[in-house]
Structure 1
Amino acid sequence: MSYDQSSSGLPEWKTCAPYRIHERDEDFEPIYTANCHCGRVKYQLSRREPLGSKLCHCMTCQTQHGAPFQWAAIFHKTDINFTRGHDGLEWYDPSTNTLEHNLPCKVRCSHCHSPIMDEGRKMILIFPSLVQFETEDDKAKFRPRCHIFYGQRVMDIRDGLPKWSGMGGESELIEDSPAEEVHQPKVTGERSQR
Protein backbone atom coordinates (compact mmCIF):
# COMPACT_ATOMS: atom_id res chain seq x y z
CA MET A 1 0.00 0.00 0.00
CA SER A 2 1.52 3.33 -0.94
CA TYR A 3 0.61 6.74 0.41
CA ASP A 4 1.78 10.18 -0.49
CA GLN A 5 3.86 12.01 2.09
CA SER A 6 2.32 15.06 3.74
CA SER A 7 4.25 18.29 4.30
CA SER A 8 5.12 17.01 7.79
CA GLY A 9 6.93 14.02 6.29
CA LEU A 10 4.31 11.59 7.62
CA PRO A 11 2.27 9.34 5.35
CA GLU A 12 -0.85 11.26 4.22
CA TRP A 13 -3.32 8.99 6.09
CA LYS A 14 -1.69 9.82 9.44
CA THR A 15 -2.45 13.52 9.05
CA CYS A 16 -6.15 13.16 8.20
CA ALA A 17 -9.21 12.28 10.25
CA PRO A 18 -9.97 9.75 11.57
CA TYR A 19 -6.30 8.76 11.98
CA ARG A 20 -4.67 12.08 12.87
CA ILE A 21 -3.58 12.15 16.50
CA HIS A 22 -4.78 15.26 18.32
CA GLU A 23 -2.25 17.27 20.29
CA ARG A 24 -2.95 17.88 23.99
CA ASP A 25 -3.55 21.60 23.50
CA GLU A 26 -6.10 21.08 20.72
CA ASP A 27 -9.82 21.44 21.17
CA PHE A 28 -10.51 17.71 21.63
CA GLU A 29 -12.35 16.84 24.82
CA PRO A 30 -12.22 13.04 25.39
CA ILE A 31 -15.40 11.59 26.87
CA TYR A 32 -15.01 7.84 26.27
CA THR A 33 -12.05 5.51 25.85
CA ALA A 34 -11.98 2.26 23.92
CA ASN A 35 -9.50 -0.40 22.85
CA CYS A 36 -9.14 -3.60 20.88
CA HIS A 37 -8.98 -7.01 22.58
CA CYS A 38 -5.19 -7.05 22.98
CA GLY A 39 -4.98 -3.37 23.97
CA ARG A 40 -2.48 -2.41 21.27
CA VAL A 41 -5.01 -0.05 19.68
CA LYS A 42 -6.59 2.56 21.97
CA TYR A 43 -8.74 5.54 21.13
CA GLN A 44 -10.94 8.26 22.60
CA LEU A 45 -14.30 9.65 21.52
CA SER A 46 -15.24 13.29 22.00
CA ARG A 47 -19.00 13.08 21.28
CA ARG A 48 -21.26 12.12 24.20
CA GLU A 49 -23.93 10.50 22.05
CA PRO A 50 -23.46 8.90 18.62
CA LEU A 51 -25.19 10.40 15.59
CA GLY A 52 -26.97 7.07 15.25
CA SER A 53 -26.74 3.51 16.52
CA LYS A 54 -27.98 0.41 14.75
CA LEU A 55 -27.79 -3.33 14.44
CA CYS A 56 -26.68 -4.41 10.96
CA HIS A 57 -27.68 -7.86 9.67
CA CYS A 58 -25.95 -7.71 6.27
CA MET A 59 -23.98 -10.80 5.25
CA THR A 60 -20.69 -8.86 5.20
CA CYS A 61 -21.13 -7.82 8.84
CA GLN A 62 -22.19 -11.34 9.81
CA THR A 63 -19.06 -12.79 8.22
CA GLN A 64 -16.63 -10.08 9.36
CA HIS A 65 -17.81 -10.21 12.98
CA GLY A 66 -18.57 -13.93 13.16
CA ALA A 67 -21.94 -13.03 14.66
CA PRO A 68 -25.59 -12.82 13.56
CA PHE A 69 -25.38 -9.00 13.43
CA GLN A 70 -23.10 -6.05 14.19
CA TRP A 71 -23.80 -3.26 16.69
CA ALA A 72 -22.45 0.00 15.26
CA ALA A 73 -22.57 3.64 16.34
CA ILE A 74 -22.08 6.49 13.87
CA PHE A 75 -19.59 9.28 14.53
CA HIS A 76 -17.90 12.05 12.57
CA LYS A 77 -14.32 11.21 11.61
CA THR A 78 -13.13 14.12 13.78
CA ASP A 79 -14.83 12.62 16.89
CA ILE A 80 -12.08 10.00 17.33
CA ASN A 81 -8.51 10.32 18.58
CA PHE A 82 -6.12 7.36 18.52
CA THR A 83 -3.89 7.42 21.59
CA ARG A 84 -2.07 4.20 20.80
CA GLY A 85 -1.53 1.74 17.99
CA HIS A 86 -2.89 3.50 14.94
CA ASP A 87 0.29 2.36 13.16
CA GLY A 88 -0.92 -1.19 13.80
CA LEU A 89 -4.20 -0.84 11.95
CA GLU A 90 -5.14 -2.85 8.87
CA TRP A 91 -7.73 -2.03 6.27
CA TYR A 92 -9.92 -4.41 4.32
CA ASP A 93 -12.06 -3.48 1.33
CA PRO A 94 -14.79 -6.15 1.14
CA SER A 95 -15.94 -4.97 -2.29
CA THR A 96 -12.57 -5.82 -3.87
CA ASN A 97 -11.32 -8.36 -1.30
CA THR A 98 -8.09 -6.36 -0.86
CA LEU A 99 -6.14 -4.90 2.04
CA GLU A 100 -6.36 -1.44 0.53
CA HIS A 101 -7.55 1.78 2.10
CA ASN A 102 -10.43 2.22 -0.37
CA LEU A 103 -13.53 3.78 1.14
CA PRO A 104 -15.72 2.40 2.51
CA CYS A 105 -13.52 -0.14 4.29
CA LYS A 106 -13.19 -2.19 7.45
CA VAL A 107 -10.47 -1.26 9.99
CA ARG A 108 -9.02 -3.74 12.48
CA CYS A 109 -6.07 -4.32 14.80
CA SER A 110 -3.29 -6.09 12.91
CA HIS A 111 -2.36 -8.14 16.00
CA CYS A 112 -5.61 -9.46 17.54
CA HIS A 113 -7.77 -8.65 14.49
CA SER A 114 -10.46 -7.00 16.60
CA PRO A 115 -12.71 -4.88 14.38
CA ILE A 116 -12.05 -1.23 15.28
CA MET A 117 -14.42 0.59 12.93
CA ASP A 118 -15.91 0.80 9.48
CA GLU A 119 -14.61 3.89 7.73
CA GLY A 120 -17.01 5.46 5.27
CA ARG A 121 -16.49 8.37 2.94
CA LYS A 122 -17.84 10.90 5.47
CA MET A 123 -18.44 9.03 8.73
CA ILE A 124 -17.10 6.17 10.83
CA LEU A 125 -19.00 3.33 12.47
CA ILE A 126 -17.42 2.30 15.76
CA PHE A 127 -18.37 -0.74 17.80
CA PRO A 128 -19.80 0.14 21.23
CA SER A 129 -18.68 -3.21 22.65
CA LEU A 130 -15.10 -1.79 22.62
CA VAL A 131 -16.02 1.32 24.64
CA GLN A 132 -15.49 1.46 28.42
CA PHE A 133 -18.71 2.99 29.72
CA GLU A 134 -18.49 4.45 33.21
CA THR A 135 -22.25 4.61 33.80
CA GLU A 136 -25.38 2.85 32.59
CA ASP A 137 -26.62 6.25 31.37
CA ASP A 138 -23.58 6.56 29.09
CA LYS A 139 -24.16 3.04 27.75
CA ALA A 140 -27.84 3.86 27.14
CA LYS A 141 -26.83 6.73 24.83
CA PHE A 142 -25.38 4.10 22.46
CA ARG A 143 -28.41 1.81 22.46
CA PRO A 144 -29.46 0.65 18.99
CA ARG A 145 -32.29 2.65 17.40
CA CYS A 146 -33.09 0.30 14.51
CA HIS A 147 -32.09 -2.81 12.58
CA ILE A 148 -30.80 -2.54 9.01
CA PHE A 149 -30.52 -5.25 6.34
CA TYR A 150 -32.97 -7.25 8.46
CA GLY A 151 -34.02 -9.07 5.28
CA GLN A 152 -30.67 -10.92 5.53
CA ARG A 153 -31.08 -11.87 9.20
CA VAL A 154 -30.20 -15.32 10.47
CA MET A 155 -32.38 -14.95 13.57
CA ASP A 156 -35.43 -12.95 14.58
CA ILE A 157 -35.02 -10.23 17.20
CA ARG A 158 -38.29 -9.17 18.82
CA ASP A 159 -37.21 -5.95 20.50
CA GLY A 160 -39.75 -3.42 19.22
CA LEU A 161 -37.24 -1.47 17.14
CA PRO A 162 -37.85 -0.61 13.46
CA LYS A 163 -36.49 -3.28 11.14
CA TRP A 164 -35.51 -2.23 7.63
CA SER A 165 -34.99 -4.74 4.81
CA GLY A 166 -31.97 -2.69 3.63
CA MET A 167 -30.67 0.74 4.64
CA GLY A 168 -32.70 2.48 7.33
CA GLY A 169 -35.40 4.76 6.00
CA GLU A 170 -34.61 3.82 2.38
CA SER A 171 -36.06 0.32 2.22
CA GLU A 172 -39.11 -1.68 3.22
CA LEU A 173 -40.01 -1.69 6.91
CA ILE A 174 -40.28 -5.31 8.04
CA GLU A 175 -42.83 -5.67 10.78
CA ASP A 176 -42.22 -8.63 13.06
CA SER A 177 -42.84 -6.94 16.41
CA PRO A 178 -46.13 -6.08 18.07
CA ALA A 179 -47.35 -2.74 16.66
CA GLU A 180 -47.54 -1.12 20.10
CA GLU A 181 -43.81 -1.82 20.65
CA VAL A 182 -42.54 -0.38 17.38
CA HIS A 183 -40.70 2.91 17.78
CA GLN A 184 -40.84 5.44 14.97
CA PRO A 185 -37.51 5.77 13.16
CA LYS A 186 -35.50 8.91 13.63
CA VAL A 187 -34.65 10.38 10.21
CA THR A 188 -31.01 11.41 10.27
CA GLY A 189 -29.94 11.38 6.63
CA GLU A 190 -28.12 8.07 6.94
CA ARG A 191 -27.79 7.58 3.18
CA SER A 192 -24.20 8.89 2.88
CA GLN A 193 -22.97 7.83 6.32
CA ARG A 194 -21.84 4.33 5.51
Structure 2
Amino acid sequence: MKHVAICLFALFFWNELRASEPLNVEFYEVRGNNARDLRKELGDHGPVGDDGSRHHGYTKWHVDWTFQLIPSGKLCAIGSVETKLEVTMTLPKWNKPEGLLEDLTREWERYSTALRLHEDGHYNIAVSAAQEIERRLSGLTGTAGCKTLAEDINSKARAVIEEFRAKDLGYDVATEHGATQGARF
Protein backbone atom coordinates (compact mmCIF):
# COMPACT_ATOMS: atom_id res chain seq x y z
CA MET A 1 0.00 0.00 0.00
CA LYS A 2 2.87 2.32 0.81
CA HIS A 3 4.27 1.79 -2.70
CA VAL A 4 0.92 2.67 -4.26
CA ALA A 5 0.85 5.94 -2.32
CA ILE A 6 4.38 6.77 -3.46
CA CYS A 7 3.44 6.02 -7.09
CA LEU A 8 0.36 8.22 -6.88
CA PHE A 9 2.44 10.98 -5.31
CA ALA A 10 4.93 10.72 -8.16
CA LEU A 11 2.15 10.84 -10.74
CA PHE A 12 0.65 13.91 -9.11
CA PHE A 13 3.86 15.89 -9.06
CA TRP A 14 5.99 14.58 -11.91
CA ASN A 15 3.62 14.94 -14.79
CA GLU A 16 4.56 13.74 -18.21
CA LEU A 17 4.87 16.85 -20.35
CA ARG A 18 5.29 16.54 -24.08
CA ALA A 19 4.93 19.21 -26.74
CA SER A 20 5.21 18.50 -30.40
CA GLU A 21 6.24 21.49 -32.46
CA PRO A 22 5.81 20.60 -36.12
CA LEU A 23 6.28 23.43 -38.57
CA ASN A 24 4.97 23.00 -42.07
CA VAL A 25 6.29 25.65 -44.46
CA GLU A 26 4.38 26.15 -47.70
CA PHE A 27 5.23 28.49 -50.55
CA TYR A 28 3.18 30.35 -53.11
CA GLU A 29 4.81 31.46 -56.33
CA VAL A 30 5.28 35.06 -57.39
CA ARG A 31 6.63 36.25 -60.72
CA GLY A 32 8.01 39.58 -61.81
CA ASN A 33 10.88 41.37 -63.49
CA ASN A 34 10.73 44.48 -61.30
CA ALA A 35 9.73 45.60 -57.81
CA ARG A 36 6.33 46.93 -58.92
CA ASP A 37 5.34 43.60 -60.49
CA LEU A 38 6.56 41.66 -57.46
CA ARG A 39 4.57 43.88 -55.09
CA LYS A 40 1.45 43.30 -57.20
CA GLU A 41 2.02 39.54 -57.19
CA LEU A 42 2.48 39.53 -53.42
CA GLY A 43 -0.77 41.45 -52.99
CA ASP A 44 -2.70 39.32 -55.47
CA HIS A 45 -1.46 35.84 -54.46
CA GLY A 46 -0.52 36.06 -50.78
CA PRO A 47 -2.35 33.86 -48.27
CA VAL A 48 -5.65 34.99 -46.81
CA GLY A 49 -5.51 35.28 -43.02
CA ASP A 50 -8.23 34.66 -40.47
CA ASP A 51 -9.05 38.36 -40.78
CA GLY A 52 -10.06 37.85 -44.45
CA SER A 53 -7.19 39.99 -45.76
CA ARG A 54 -4.32 38.93 -47.99
CA HIS A 55 -0.87 39.04 -46.47
CA HIS A 56 2.59 38.49 -47.93
CA GLY A 57 3.17 35.73 -45.39
CA TYR A 58 0.94 34.03 -42.87
CA THR A 59 1.38 31.63 -39.98
CA LYS A 60 -1.67 29.64 -38.91
CA TRP A 61 -1.49 27.60 -35.72
CA HIS A 62 -3.64 25.30 -33.68
CA VAL A 63 -3.01 23.66 -30.30
CA ASP A 64 -4.80 20.54 -29.08
CA TRP A 65 -4.34 19.14 -25.60
CA THR A 66 -5.00 15.81 -23.98
CA PHE A 67 -4.69 14.77 -20.38
CA GLN A 68 -5.12 11.80 -18.13
CA LEU A 69 -6.89 12.03 -14.80
CA ILE A 70 -6.21 9.95 -11.73
CA PRO A 71 -9.21 9.52 -9.43
CA SER A 72 -8.77 8.79 -5.76
CA GLY A 73 -12.06 8.83 -3.92
CA LYS A 74 -13.46 12.34 -4.15
CA LEU A 75 -10.06 13.69 -5.15
CA CYS A 76 -8.82 13.82 -8.71
CA ALA A 77 -5.47 14.86 -10.14
CA ILE A 78 -4.05 15.33 -13.58
CA GLY A 79 -1.61 12.51 -14.32
CA SER A 80 -0.22 13.63 -17.66
CA VAL A 81 -0.62 16.45 -20.14
CA GLU A 82 0.25 16.44 -23.80
CA THR A 83 -0.12 19.22 -26.32
CA LYS A 84 -0.08 18.86 -30.05
CA LEU A 85 0.88 21.95 -32.00
CA GLU A 86 0.21 22.27 -35.71
CA VAL A 87 1.69 25.25 -37.53
CA THR A 88 1.54 26.12 -41.21
CA MET A 89 3.67 29.03 -42.39
CA THR A 90 3.00 30.33 -45.90
CA LEU A 91 5.69 32.40 -47.60
CA PRO A 92 6.32 33.72 -51.12
CA LYS A 93 8.80 32.10 -53.48
CA TRP A 94 10.02 34.21 -56.35
CA ASN A 95 10.22 32.45 -59.69
CA LYS A 96 13.11 34.68 -60.69
CA PRO A 97 13.77 35.19 -64.40
CA GLU A 98 17.33 35.06 -65.72
CA GLY A 99 19.39 38.20 -66.24
CA LEU A 100 17.85 40.55 -63.67
CA LEU A 101 19.70 43.34 -61.94
CA GLU A 102 21.50 42.26 -58.77
CA ASP A 103 19.87 45.14 -56.86
CA LEU A 104 16.42 43.55 -57.25
CA THR A 105 17.76 40.14 -56.21
CA ARG A 106 19.42 41.60 -53.12
CA GLU A 107 16.27 43.51 -52.21
CA TRP A 108 14.19 40.30 -52.53
CA GLU A 109 16.64 38.38 -50.35
CA ARG A 110 16.57 41.13 -47.71
CA TYR A 111 12.78 41.22 -47.78
CA SER A 112 12.41 37.41 -47.71
CA THR A 113 14.71 37.15 -44.70
CA ALA A 114 12.78 39.85 -42.84
CA LEU A 115 9.42 38.27 -43.69
CA ARG A 116 10.61 34.88 -42.44
CA LEU A 117 11.86 36.54 -39.22
CA HIS A 118 8.43 38.07 -38.73
CA GLU A 119 6.60 34.79 -39.37
CA ASP A 120 9.01 32.99 -37.03
CA GLY A 121 7.74 35.39 -34.35
CA HIS A 122 4.21 34.04 -34.89
CA TYR A 123 5.57 30.50 -34.71
CA ASN A 124 7.31 31.28 -31.41
CA ILE A 125 4.03 32.61 -29.98
CA ALA A 126 2.35 29.34 -30.97
CA VAL A 127 5.09 27.27 -29.32
CA SER A 128 4.77 29.41 -26.18
CA ALA A 129 1.00 28.82 -26.14
CA ALA A 130 1.49 25.04 -26.16
CA GLN A 131 4.14 25.25 -23.45
CA GLU A 132 1.97 27.53 -21.33
CA ILE A 133 -0.95 25.10 -21.49
CA GLU A 134 1.31 22.36 -20.19
CA ARG A 135 2.72 24.62 -17.47
CA ARG A 136 -0.67 25.80 -16.22
CA LEU A 137 -2.25 22.36 -16.28
CA SER A 138 0.64 20.52 -14.69
CA GLY A 139 -0.14 19.34 -11.20
CA LEU A 140 -3.77 20.44 -11.05
CA THR A 141 -5.94 18.63 -8.53
CA GLY A 142 -9.58 18.86 -7.62
CA THR A 143 -11.80 17.92 -4.72
CA ALA A 144 -15.10 17.86 -6.62
CA GLY A 145 -14.30 14.82 -8.76
CA CYS A 146 -12.74 14.17 -12.14
CA LYS A 147 -15.63 15.53 -14.24
CA THR A 148 -15.34 18.94 -12.60
CA LEU A 149 -11.54 18.88 -12.86
CA ALA A 150 -11.75 18.01 -16.57
CA GLU A 151 -14.06 20.98 -17.14
CA ASP A 152 -11.64 23.23 -15.23
CA ILE A 153 -8.68 21.92 -17.25
CA ASN A 154 -10.39 22.57 -20.58
CA SER A 155 -11.47 26.03 -19.46
CA LYS A 156 -7.91 26.92 -18.43
CA ALA A 157 -6.48 25.62 -21.71
CA ARG A 158 -9.01 27.63 -23.77
CA ALA A 159 -8.11 30.74 -21.75
CA VAL A 160 -4.43 30.23 -22.65
CA ILE A 161 -5.35 29.96 -26.34
CA GLU A 162 -7.34 33.20 -26.14
CA GLU A 163 -4.46 34.92 -24.33
CA PHE A 164 -1.93 33.87 -26.95
CA ARG A 165 -4.25 34.70 -29.89
CA ALA A 166 -4.36 38.22 -28.44
CA LYS A 167 -0.54 38.22 -28.22
CA ASP A 168 -0.39 37.10 -31.85
CA LEU A 169 -2.61 40.01 -32.91
CA GLY A 170 -0.64 42.41 -30.72
CA TYR A 171 2.58 41.25 -32.36
CA ASP A 172 1.19 42.21 -35.78
CA VAL A 173 0.06 45.59 -34.47
CA ALA A 174 3.44 46.29 -32.82
CA THR A 175 5.42 45.26 -35.91
CA GLU A 176 2.91 46.64 -38.45
CA HIS A 177 2.67 43.11 -39.89
CA GLY A 178 6.47 42.90 -40.04
CA ALA A 179 7.11 46.32 -41.61
CA THR A 180 9.09 47.51 -38.58
CA GLN A 181 11.21 44.35 -38.94
CA GLY A 182 12.00 45.12 -42.59
CA ALA A 183 9.28 42.92 -44.13
CA ARG A 184 8.13 45.55 -46.59
CA PHE A 185 8.90 45.16 -50.26
Shorter-normalised TM range: under 0.3
Q: TM-score, normalised by structure 1?
A: 0.23
Q: Which has the larger radius of gyration?
A: 2
Structure with higher helix content = 2
